[in-house]
Structure 1
Amino acid sequence: MDNGVSLRWWQTRWFVLFATLVATVPLLWPDIPPLVDLPGHMGRYRVQLVYDEVPWLHEWYDFRWQLMGNLGVDLLVFPMSKIFGLELGVKLIVITIPAMTVAGFLMIAREVHGRIPATALFALPLAYAFPFHFGFVNFALSLGMAMLAFGWWLRLARLGKFQFRSMVFVPLSVIIWITHTFGWGVLGVLAFSAELVRQHDLRRNRALPWYKDLKDGWIAPLFFAGLQCLVLALPAVLMVIWRGGEHVSGQTFDWFNWRAKTLWVTQVFRDRWQLFDLASVGVIFLLMLKAVRDPNLQYSRNLGLSALLLLLVYLLLPRVVFGSAYADMRMVPFLIAIAILAIRPKPGLSMRGATLVAVLGLAFFLARIGATTASFYLYDKAYDRELKALDHVPIGARLVSFVGETCYNEWAMTRLQHVPGLALERRLAYTNDQWSMPGGQLMTVHYRAAKRFAHDPSELVTNVQCPREWWRPIARSLALFPRDAFDYVWLIRPPAYDKRYEQGLIPVWRDGPSVLYRVDHDVPGPGLNPGDLPIPRPEAVLIREAEAAGELPGNGTAPPS
């Protein structure tokens, strides 16, 4: 019962628990969550755990602790790895992310509408959106925390516990910022918009003598909403300290890329099956359109304003912020989710109609979860197959890896792009897939002998030079990597190449196109034959001019992280 009125099945605590548990299902089977960047992060986690105990890591990497807004999983792996081991510990952390996100969505819906509307179920699949598949785990963790925190912010306001809210959200905002800056930023936008509506309604519904002339305006609500949200401001000071550091790098660029912003919206469910993923996008946009035109549905002013402010942030964000790519893309699923959560039935909607909407929403959620579970199972099988190569890699080996890519933005990503990071995680071997961005994360690469093959994206190879990409053709990589700096070469589903580039490489493991070679340092490399580097026209001239100007890796310019 709720205020004397029976709750429907999707509005009960049992359903919230059920939906939260269902959200974990896709991640139960894989040993390593098949998220694109996660294996690379796991390599860094291993370094931070054993850096002081393994001397050869100091020759390759520099690891320095500092306060920054990107430390969520990095900090959690300390207790989790001691209890469960690193791989299981990371898996358990990642499992909590979609669970928290789903629980947060439902909590927000409950606080805004008084009870969970049937339409809210359509937002739940966004817990497995494209940014999560990409492996932005600190970001995703902070957003899951932000959704729960926003639900709590609303609840404390409803209960009138403003003093307690002010006290608890000062440290909570710092914790979310440390997890990842984006979570803190989104929480600030959501809290401000909700407080703005509350302050406006408070003055409209109460006769305040000293405010009589402005009670229907927005000037005072803006002021008092900002005042209430000052408790979230402390991380702004920490941000200035962080980004003002001596060794901080990372550019901000690519503003107002409307083509990319449109693509991120259509790719919000991007995983494996393009038609199914696009149809899922169509479902949620049909729902949002129906809420505009259907007389039985309406948008909450509270979350409607939140969605509009998030949309404004999305439009203004560049693609790269402080050297971190896909900054604007990460906002899309939460912008859409808040817009869906804003939808609610008008009082006249029948119980039968609401039940039908809830059944359709649950079916949509379960269908997406089922597809993601199947997709993750297939990715896990691919991981198992490729990782058998590590049984032949000695502890502490100097390993250069080349992972096959294409010039086309294929819908189903292989999820193998950072699998070489598991060689660092499991075998403490050098791997050239690590990011090297001072001030952006705790670890940087300083293995000078590796030259232009020291860090990401040197691990990605193609059959030709792709326009506007830093990836090298496989022939260029095999011919030019400094053989004195490496003991082993790991090719992971590479594109076809001339076998003469295997000169001086002794195969020790092979499975299909993937192969692990040991480098024979007594045999010189094959040299580079320009005829083996076909470049699509008309980009060929542009690329050669860029190389001559030092703008591509061919002339040693370090690519952005």
Structure 2
Amino acid sequence: MTDPSPSPRTAFWETRSFALAMIALAAIPLLLPAIPPLTDLMGHMGRYRVQLDIGHSPYLPHYYRFDWGLIGNLGCDLLVELLGPILGLELAVKLIVLSIPCIMVAGLLLVAREIHGRVPATALFALPLAFGYPFQFGFVNFAFAMGLMLIAFAFWLRMARTGKLKARPYVFFVVSFLLWVAHSFAWGTLGILCFIAEVVRRRKEGKSWFETGWRAVVACLPLAPPALLLMPWRGGDSPKGTFDWFNWYFKWIWLRSVLRERVQIWDMASAALLYAVALSGLVWKPWRRYEPILGISAAVLIAIFVCLPRVLLSSAYADMRLVPYMLAILILALRPIADRRIAIGIAVAATLFFVGRISITTLAFLKFERNYTTQLKALDHVPMGSRVMALINTPCRSAWYSSRMEHLSSMATVRRQAFVNDQWVAPGAQLLRIDYRPAGRYYSHDPSQIVRRPDCRARNEPILEIALEYFPRDAYDYVWMIDMPSNRWPIDPDLVPIWEGNRFGVLYRIIHHPAPKAMGPNPAR
């Protein structure tokens, strides 16, 4: 680490005003959309509605159960609990989600400054990763916590640099619990980064490897207590699903998809540029081009990415989530460029690249929002507390572009307190439970709402014609076909169309026939 003392020739990208401008720039794509267009977010919003209103709603207790518990995945849930009653659910979610990329940009710049004493020009290339694929997918608790993790790590480094080592254990004893509650993955990542930072610092002081090791362990002990909170997960509601190790096909996809958004050529070219920047230090004397703390941290995170399964403790895409952060750490590890003219050129190029990414993201988000608005007009015809069977036309997983409507149907829960078959259940990983037996085993939860082409659907996803024939009609009041082309709309006397979305999307009211009365005893006998 280098002492960040001010220089009389401070470059423009090293100033506080520039940092604030980059943080503000990260908020722009999310300013206009009423609903942040992140794939899983609407599903989270449905859960938030249950969380906020189940205690006094006349409808939600018939369908759901929500029991508070201490789990390592509550960052945004707790903020919604605080802000939702004041601002309303949708505005509260928008403001929370809008803050996430801003927090990550701030964290990246703070870490770069603490490590190098100033912000290297190359570090600016890491800023677009604030809109990396995990965030675009809607892993909001994870992305929120990882942004806080970067800020916490910068604070850890700063307390060491300023000699506040006596106060640091008390501060980070609290920080570790808060970060674990936000998301346990971020807490674990912070522990790895802090341990490596302590090892490197002790070695620079000339300590032996043995003394370095045990002193680093002691220094990081204040981060360890949240591990005790993992013990209840081994009990009744512990997340048990861990599988799909060393799936090289998916790992290659995750590497390519680090900036996946809407336009494949642009996204993949942008990703290639970031990998080129990150690996540029390997061209000549890499041990001099990479700062040891972040260089070693990046290497460890890459090894963890290789070893992580696709599904860890019931959380899908566990390995994918790490990619933007390991890439960002590797970019931040690059030491400042000595030649000022070259540094200025790189800083300008990186800033323009970030502006370009933000501009395209803003346009893409507005397009998603317009499509949402079209489909959500169906909710004007759905009464409060209704039961809605959603069937959502969804592209194949191999398609780069996604409509991001997989959980749009949850807005019926958000705005109409309706039951919808699109909530996922992950015991130990989230607190919502589905308690509506009439919907049956297969048509009550995610992914029963996702309809792909038969040749590219997942094994547990429905086939449209079979779902329409066999779903329990008495358990539902409406069938909502979202973004479904008109040539796939069913013609059924028991399904009455009451809204049509301009050839894409339709809402049916289900006609329920009374059950035949049981034959009583023959009075003539």
TM-score, normalization: structure 2? 0.94
The reply on whether 1:448 has 2:451 as its aligned counterpart is no
The reply on whether 1:363 has 2:363 as its aligned counterpart is no
Superposed displacement of residue 432, structure 1 = 0.6
Q: How many matched pairs?
A: 509
* Distance of 2:401 and 2:466 partners within structure 1: 26
CA displacement, residues 438-481 of structure 1 (integer Å, 9 cap, x when unaligned): 22211011211111110000011134254643211111111111
* Distance of 1:254 and 1:417 partners within structure 2: 23
CA displacement, residues 257-282 of structure 1 (integer Å, 9 cap, x when unaligned): 11111110111000000000000011
Superposed displacement of residue 483, structure 1 = 0.4
The reply on whether 1:435 has 2:424 as its aligned counterpart is yes
Match of 1:547 in 2: none
Match of 2:399 in 1: 410
Superposed displacement of residue 288, structure 1 = 2.3
Match of 1:555 in 2: none
Alignment of 1:520-535 (within 5 A): 520-522=511-513
Alignment of 1:17-416 (within 5 A): 17-203=20-206, 215=208, 218-241=209-232, 243-294=233-284, 298-345=289-336, 349-416=338-405
Superposed displacement of residue 220, structure 1 = 2.2
Q: Counterpart amino acid of 1:413?
A: S
SS of the residue 2:318 aligns to: coil
SS of the residue 1:252 aligns to: coil
SS of the residue 1:312 aligns to: helix
* Distance of 1:79 and 1:323 partners within structure 2: 27
* Distance of 1:92 and 1:56 partners within structure 2: 27
**Distance 1:55-1:196 versus aligned 2 partners, 3 A rule:** same
SS of the residue 2:316 aligns to: coil
* Distance of 2:19 and 2:490 partners within structure 1: 60
Is the CA contact 2:122–2:332 (under 8 Å) kept in the aligned structure 1? yes
Superposed displacement of residue 521, structure 1 = 0.9
CA RMSD of aligned residues (A): 1.7
* Distance of 2:272 and 2:330 partners within structure 1: 15
SS of the residue 1:343 aligns to: coil
CA displacement, residues 319-365 of structure 1 (integer Å, 9 cap, x when unaligned): 1011110001000000000000000235xx22111100100110111
Superposed displacement of residue 408, structure 1 = 4.4
TM-score, normalization: structure 1? 0.88
Larger deviation, residues 129-138 vs 442-451: 442-451
Work out the percentage of aligned pairs sharing the same amino acid.
Answer: 45
Superposed displacement of residue 248, structure 1 = 2.7
* Distance of 1:287 and 1:193 partners within structure 2: 23
Q: Counterpart amino acid of 2:484?
A: P
The unaligned stretches of length 5 or more in structure 2 are 516-525
1:419 to 408, 428, 434: 408
The reply on whether 1:503 has 2:484 as its aligned counterpart is no
Q: Counterpart amino acid of 2:381?
A: H
Superposed displacement of residue 12, structure 1 = 0.8
* Distance of 1:63 and 1:416 partners within structure 2: 25
SS of the residue 1:509 aligns to: strand
Match of 1:513 in 2: 504
**Distance 1:28-1:253 versus aligned 2 partners, 3 A rule:** same
Is the CA contact 2:394–2:402 (under 8 Å) kept in the aligned structure 1? no
Superposed displacement of residue 505, structure 1 = 0.4
